[in-house]
C-alpha cells in the first residue's frame, strides 16, 4: 500500500481508469467469439445486408471451421508472447507498448466494423478476419503484460479493480449482442453498431491511459520507482486476484494472503552483518513441487477451449423458429458462461479446496501463512479427479442439439440439458482455474514463487492452445 504521504485518489478517477483499461484488454476476444453467428453467415455466402448477429434454428453451417480457427488464433499469441515477454518488454518502452497496442487494436476493430458494409466473398473475408484476430490478440497480450507492469507500482486494490474490468468484458460483449439484436433495426445496422461498441471502449481506454500522468495519485505511484513486476506474472496475477472480483474488499484476509503470494509485499531487509546470499531457484525443483497443480490447470483449459466456443456456439434451440431460437445461443452460451465463470472465480474468496488443509484454516482466521508452507493432506488429492471429471462435458456438449452433424446422434435435444451442462461447465471452469492458480504459490518456498508464477503462466497458455487445437478433432467427430 502507499505510504502515509501519498495523495488521495480524488473521485476514484484512477480506479475508474484502470477498470476501463481492464475492460478494454479483453473486449476483442469476447466480441469476436460472441459474434460467431454473424461471421458464419458471411462465410456461408450470405450477403452482409441480410447477415444476422443471431443464430436460428436452420442457421448457416460453420463454414471454414471458423469457430475452431478463431479460438486457436486467439490463444496462440498468448503462448508466443509468454515465451517472448522478457525480450520484448526490455526492448520497447512501456508507453510505446501500451499506446501502440491500443491504437493498433482500435484500427483493426474499425476495419472489422467497416467490413460489415463491404460485400466481400467468403474466402477473402475469412483471410482478413483471421489476420485481424491474430494481430488483435497479439497486441492484447502485449497490452496486458504492460499494464500489469504498471499495476505492480500501485496499491494492490487497483489490481482487483483492473481485473474486475476484465471479468466483466465477456458479460459486456454478450449484453451488447443482445441489445443489437433487440434494437429492431436491420441486420446490417445491428452488426455495425455491435462492432462499433468495442471501438468506443478502446477509445475510452486510450483516453484513460493518457489521463493517468495528469492525475496526482497515479503520477505519485507510477513515477515513484520502476516497475518491479515481471511480465511473466501477467496471467498468474490475473487469476490469483480474480477471486476477489465479486466483493472487491481490499483488506480481506483472503486478499492479504493472495497479495503476499504475488510478492507485492516487500521482503524484509537482511541484517547489516549478514552477507547477501542470492538464491536462484531451480526451475526443475519448482516444477517438481507444482507439476500436479500445473497439469490440472492445463487440463481445465484444455477441456474448456476444446468445446467453447467451437462446439457450444453450434448448439441451437430445439423449440423451432422464433424469438427464443434467435436469442438462445447468445443468452445460454455466451452470457450464461461468462456470468457463471465469473461467479466460479469469485467462490475462492470464500473457500479453497480442502477444508482440512492448514493454509485454508489460516486464511479463514486471517493469519499469516507459516514458512515453509505445509503440504496439503490427502483430501486435496481429489483435485485431479475433479479436474478429470470435467472431460465428461466434452461428449455431453457434442451430443446436444447441433443440427450440422454427420456421425454422432443427438441425445440431449431439449434446451434444458444444454443450459444445465453450461451452468456446471462454466462455474467449474472459473473455480478450478482460480483454485489452481491460488494453490501453486503455496506449494513452494517464498523465493521460488516468481519461478512458480512464470511456470503457471506458461502452462496456462499451453492449456488454452491445447484446447483450441483439440477443438478441430472434436468438430470432425460430429
Q: List, for residues 124-161, the tens digit of each pLDDT value.
A: 999 999 999 999 989 988 888 788 777 767 887 787 78
* Between 217 and 221, the higher pLDDT residue: 217
| CATH 1.20.1250 fits domain 11-266+279-477 | yes
Highest mean pLDDT among 8-12, 270-274, 416-420: 416-420
Q: What is the pLDDT of residue 300?
A: 95
Residue 364: how many other CB atoms lie within 10 Å: 14
Kindly indicate the confidence band of residue 301, based on its pLDDT and cuts at 50, 70 and 90: very high
Distances (CA, A) of 456 to 120, 176, 304, 460: 42, 33, 17, 6
Kindly indicate the confidence band of residue 224, based on its pLDDT and cuts at 50, 70 and 90: low
Distances (CA, A) of 318 to 32, 41, 243, 253, 417: 25, 20, 36, 47, 11
Q: What is the pLDDT of residue 253?
A: 35
Phi, psi of 412 (to 5 degrees): -110, 80
- Tell me which of 101-105, 163-167, 403-407 is least confident: 163-167
Is 84 a residue whose pLDDT tops 80? no
**Residue burial 300-337, b: 16+ Cβ < 10 Å; e: rest:** bbbbbbbbbbbbbbbbbbbeeeeeebbbbbbebbbbbb
What mean pLDDT comes out for the span 303-330?
Answer: 89
Kindly indicate the confidence band of residue 422, based on its pLDDT and cuts at 50, 70 and 90: very high
Q: Three-class SS of residue 139? A: helix
Cα separation, 237 vs 150, in Å, equals 13
Taking each helix axis as running N to C, give the angle between helix 336-346 and helix 234-242, from 0 to 180 degrees, rounded to the nearest 10.
80
Q: What is the pLDDT of residue 36?
A: 83
Contact of 299 with 388, CB cutoff 8 Å: yes
Cα separation, 416 vs 223, in Å, equals 54
Cα separation, 217 vs 286, in Å, equals 38
Percent of the chain with pLDDT over 70: 75
Is 469 a residue whose pLDDT tops 90? yes
Cα separation, 332 vs 304, in Å, equals 16
What mean pLDDT comes out for the span 76-89?
Answer: 78
**Residue burial 208-228, b: 16+ Cβ < 10 Å; e: rest:** bbeebeebebbebbbeeeebe
- Tell me which of 201-205, 293-297, 437-441 is least confident: 437-441
Cα separation, 368 vs 48, in Å, equals 59
Q: Three-class SS of residue 232? A: helix
Kindly indicate the confidence band of residue 46, based on its pLDDT and cuts at 50, 70 and 90: low
Which residues, including other chains, have CB under 8 Å from residue 331's CB and lie 6 or more apart? 174, 178
What are the residue ranges spanned by the domains of the chain? 11-266+279-477
Kindly indicate the confidence band of residue 442, based on its pLDDT and cuts at 50, 70 and 90: confident
Contact of 409 with 399, CB cutoff 8 Å: yes
* Between 269 and 321, the higher pLDDT residue: 321
Is 373 a residue whose pLDDT tops 50? no
Phi, psi of 317 (to 5 degrees): -75, 145
Q: What is the pLDDT of residue 261?
A: 41
- Tell me which of 254-268, 392-406, 429-443 is least confident: 254-268
Q: What is the pLDDT of residue 126?
A: 92
* Average pLDDT of the chain, as a whole number: 78
Is 359 a residue whose pLDDT tops 80? no
Phi, psi of 400 (to 5 degrees): -80, -175
**Residue burial 283-296, b: 16+ Cβ < 10 Å; e: rest:** eeebeebbebbbeb
What is the full DSSP assignment across 187-222? Answer: HHHHHHHHHHHHHHHHHHHHHHHHHGGGSHHHHHHH
Q: What is the pLDDT of residue 429?
A: 92
Cα separation, 327 vs 336, in Å, equals 12
Residue with cell 504459490: 441
What is the full DSSP assignment across 234-301? Answer: HHHHHHHHHTTTTT--TT-HHHHHHHHHTT-SPPPPPPTTSPP------HHHHHHHHHHHHHHHHHHH
Is 449 a residue whose pLDDT tops 80? no
Distances (CA, A) of 418 to 67, 311, 434, 478: 18, 12, 24, 16
pTM of the model: 0.75
Highest mean pLDDT among 2-6, 123-127, 217-221, 262-266: 123-127
Q: Three-class SS of residue 409? A: coil
Contact of 14 with 155, CB cutoff 8 Å: no
| DSSP-assigned letter for residue 368 | P
Amino acid at each position: 500500500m502507499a505510504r502515509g504521504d501519498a495523495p488521495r485518489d480524488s473521485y476514484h478517477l484512477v480506479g475508474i481508469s484502470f477498470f476501463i483499461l481492464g475492460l478494454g484488454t479483453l473486449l476483442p476476444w469476447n466480441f469476436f467469439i460472441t459474434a460467431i453467428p454473424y461471421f458464419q453467415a458471411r462465410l456461408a455466402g450470405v450477403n452482409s445486408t441480410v447477415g444476422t448477429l443471431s443464430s436460428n434454428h436452420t442457421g448457416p453451417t460453420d463454414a471454414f471451421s471458423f469457430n475452431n480457427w478463431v479460438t486457436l488464433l486467439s490463444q496462440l499469441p498468448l503462448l508466443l508472447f509468454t515465451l517472448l515477454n522478457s525480450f520484448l518488454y526490455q526492448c520497447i518502452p512501456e508507453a510505446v507498448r501500451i499506446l501502440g497496442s491500443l491504437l493498433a487494436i482500435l484500427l483493426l476493430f474499425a476495419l472489422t466494423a467497416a467490413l460489415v458494409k463491404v460485400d466481400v466473398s467468403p474466402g477473402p473475408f475469412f483471410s482478413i478476419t483471421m489476420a485481424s484476430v491474430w494481430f488483435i490478440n497479439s497486441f492484447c497480450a502485449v497490452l496486458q503484460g504492460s499494464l500489469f507492469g504498471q499495476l505492480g507500482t500501485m496499491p494492490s486494490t487497483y489490481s482487483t479493480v483492473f481485473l474486475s474490468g476484465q471479468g466483466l468484458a465477456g458479460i459486456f460483449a454478450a449484453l451488447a449482442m443482445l441489445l443489437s439484436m433487440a434494437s429492431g433495426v436491420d441486420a446490417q445496422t445491428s452488426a455495425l453498431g455491435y462492432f462499433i461498441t468495442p471501438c468506443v471502449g478502446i477509445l475510452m481506454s486510450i483516453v484513460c491511459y493518457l489521463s493517468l500522468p495528469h492525475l496526482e495519485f497515479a503520477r505519485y505511484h507510477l513515477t515513484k520507482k520502476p516497475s518491479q513486476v515481471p511480465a511473466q506474472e501477467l496471467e498468474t496475477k490475473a487469476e490469483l486476484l480474480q477471486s476477489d472480483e465479486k466483493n472487491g474488499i481490499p483488506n480481506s484476509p483472503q486478499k492479504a494472503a493472495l497479495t503476499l503470494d504475488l510478492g507485492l509485499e516487500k521482503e524484509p531487509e537482511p541484517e547489516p552483518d549478514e552477507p547477501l546470499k542470492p538464491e536462484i531457484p531451480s526451475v526443475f525443483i519448482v516444477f517438481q513441487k507444482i507439476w500436479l497443480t500445473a497439469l490440472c490447470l492445463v487440463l481445465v483449459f484444455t477441456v474448456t477451449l476444446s468445446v467453447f466456443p467451437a462446439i457450444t456456439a453450434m448448439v441451437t434451440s430445439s423449440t423451432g423458429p422464433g424469438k427464443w431460437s434467435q436469442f438462445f445461443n447468445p443468452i445460454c452460451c455466451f452470457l450464461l458462461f461468462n456470468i457463471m465463470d465469473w461467479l466460479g472465480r469469485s467462490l475462492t474468496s470464500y473457500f479453497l479446496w480442502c477444508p482440512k488443509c492448514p493454509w485454508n484454516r489460516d486464511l479463514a482466521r486471517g493469519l499469516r501463512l507459516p514458512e515453509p508452507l505445509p503440504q496439503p493432506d490427502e483430501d486435496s488429492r481429489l483435485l485431479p479427479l475433479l479436474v478429470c471429471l470435467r472431460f465428461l462435458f466434452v461428449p455431453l456438449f457434442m451430443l446436444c442439439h447441433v443440427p450440422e452433424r454427420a456421425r454422432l446422434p443427438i441425445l440431449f435435444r431439449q434446451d434444458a440439458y444444454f443450459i444445465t451442462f453450461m451452468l456446471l461447465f462454466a462455474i467449474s471452469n472459473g473455480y478450478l482455474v482460480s483454485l489452481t492458480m491460488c494453490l501453486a504459490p503455496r506449494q513452494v518456498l517464498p523465493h521460488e514463487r516468481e519461478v512458480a508464477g512464470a511456470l503457471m503462466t506458461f502452462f496456462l497458455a499451453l492449456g488454452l492452445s491445447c484446447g483450441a487445437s483439440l477443438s478441430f478433432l472434436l468438430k470432425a467427430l460430429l
